[in-house]
Amino acid sequence: MDLNYSAEEAAFREDVRAWLASNLPQDLKQKVASYAHLSKDDLLRWHRILAKQGWVAPAWPKEWGGTGWNVVQRYIFEEELGYAGAPPLIPFGLTMCAAVLLRFGTESQKRRFLPRIYDGDDFWCQGYSEPGSGSDLASLKTKAVRKGDEYIVNGQKIWTTLAHYADWIFCLVRTDPSVERRQEGISFILIDMKTHGITVRPLMLMDGAHEVNEVFFDDVRVPAENLVHEEGKGWTVAKYLLGYERMNTGRIGESKRQLAALQEFGSTLSKNDLRFRDRLSRLEIELMALEITNLRFLDRMRRTGQPPGADVSMLKIKGTEIQQGITELMLQAADPAASDAFTEAVRKKYLSMRKTTIYAGSNEIQRNIIAKMTLGL
């Protein structure tokens, strides 16, 4: 047993850190540190800086622009991005759609979409949730009816993150309402957001930010060639995606940076209030435990060459609890009488972070997954 990184891994981390120190634009770093709004341009600027360096999609196969790094190097890289305070890389194209295309896409689909995702030419969003289909995703109703070499799509998606920035949306749609097993009637298709009949309506959240949307489809005509995998196999695709690349759901690097900021921001209170000090210590220790648990998963993956089991869901549960815990203590540490911009941002951040235990499979769904798949209940 040895919890230390190897000399090569430590050197790799130093390389990444040094590169970030000179290539992460100060204004973006500052925006992230102050919880400021990141515009589409901000997100794309950082995306393109990484793309130019060849680091925007480390997990892809080398032929499509991947770096060839192993799981530990990828983890270190993501940790360093978070720790440095880089803007997030929006996962819908780079991580999600790409993973699906690489696994299920045709050669021409890969050639058509992957380079544009890599270069940041297409901004993607994810069309999964519907008003009546949240955790029970397989009950989704948005229909796609095949007519000649087109699908006609009608229905509505909701909570669609950054749909107002997006050029494309990947959607789960119902292509066959008649099958008994409802999962078998679902297909995975790619839709150009500029297509006639698509309406995007903002959904304002309690922090006042416009991040998610409703997306309406009204007789939207989608070329049949935009179907990924076979018709009726959309659920297989969705399940593959759920199990893919969940190793950074813990967001260790980002939480480390935010915890350090919290320790600084709350240092006075921490000295004067032992109850606060102890809450802060417990949070720090939770993060230590999560980091080591995450490394144990990585070590297992590296040695077995197998993707993580369903128990990896615990990283999402603990990681999001910690992210929320940090913003909660930030809120507590803030002077109740203060109304400066940063304090206001701290309060909004607390509001905003409640989403983390709900999105990407609520923490209750993650517990269902562990109960069923890992514990056999």
Partner 1 sequence: MNFDYNEEQQLLADSVRRFLAKDYDFEARRKIVASEHGWSPKAWSTFAEMGLTGLAFPAEHGGFGGGAVDLMGVMEAFGEALVVEPYLATLMGGLAVARSPLARTILPAVIEGKMKLAFAHTEKGARYDLGVVRTQARKSAEGWLLEGEKAGVVGAPAADRLVVSAAASDGIGLFLAENPAAKPYRTMDEMRAADPVFRGAKAERLEGGMELVEALTDLATALVCAEAVGAMKFACDTTLEYLKTRRQFGVPIGTFQALQHRMVDMFIAQEQARSMACLACSKVDQSTDPKERARAVSAAKIKIADSARHVSQESVQLHGGMGMSEELKVSHSFRRLTAIAGQFGDADHHLARFATL
Binding site residues, partner 1, CB under 8 A:
1-6, 9, 72, 277-278, 281-282, 284-286, 288-290, 292-293, 295-296, 298-300, 303, 311, 314, 317-318, 364, 367-368, 370-371, 374-377
User: Which residue's CB is nearer to partner 1, number 317 or number 360?
Assistant: 317
Catalytic residue numbers?
A: 245
User: Which residue's CB is nearer to partner 1, number 311 or number 328?
Assistant: 311
Residue pair 84/17 in contact by the 8 Å Cβ criterion: yes
Structure tokens at 250: 């813990």
Interatomic CA distance for residues 329 and 174, integer angstroms: 43
Q: How far is the CB of 132 from partner 1 (least distance, A)?
A: 21
User: Which residue's CB is nearer to partner 1, number 17 or number 52?
Assistant: 17
Q: How far is the CB of 294 from partner 1 (least distance, A)?
A: 9
DSSP string, 289-320: HHHHHHHHHHHHHHHH-PPP-GGGHHHHHHHH
Length of the chain: 377
Q: How far is the CB of 302 from partner 1 (least distance, A)?
A: 9
Residue pair 278/343 in contact by the 8 Å Cβ criterion: no
User: Which residue's CB is nearer to partner 1, number 143 or number 367?
Assistant: 367
Give the largest Cα separation in the chain, rounded. 72
Residue pair 27/14 in contact by the 8 Å Cβ criterion: no
Q: How far is CA 68 from CA 59, 61, 62, 65, 183, in A?
A: 7, 7, 6, 9, 35
Structure tokens at 339: 């109304």
| Spatial CB neighbours of 91, under 8 Å, sequence gap ≥ 6 | none
Interatomic CA distance for residues 228 and 190, integer angstroms: 8
User: Which residue's CB is nearer to partner 1, number 11 or number 292?
Assistant: 292
Interatomic CA distance for residues 363 and 356, integer angstroms: 9
Residue 30 — left, alpha, or beta (φ > 0 → left; ψ -120 to 50 → alpha)?
alpha
Helix axes 107-119, 40-53, angle to 10 degrees: 110
Q: How far is the CB of 241 from partner 1 (least distance, A)?
A: 22
User: Which residue's CB is nearer to partner 1, number 48 or number 300?
Assistant: 300
Interatomic CA distance for residues 69 and 62, integer angstroms: 9
Q: How far is the CB of 137 from partner 1 (least distance, A)?
A: 17
Instruction: Say how many C-beta atoms besides its own lie within 10 A of residue 306's C-beta.
Output: 9
User: Which residue's CB is nearer to partner 1, number 256 or number 277?
Assistant: 277
Q: How far is the CB of 353 from partner 1 (least distance, A)?
A: 20
Q: How far is the CB of 69 from partner 1 (least distance, A)?
A: 15
Interatomic CA distance for residues 284 and 211, integer angstroms: 29
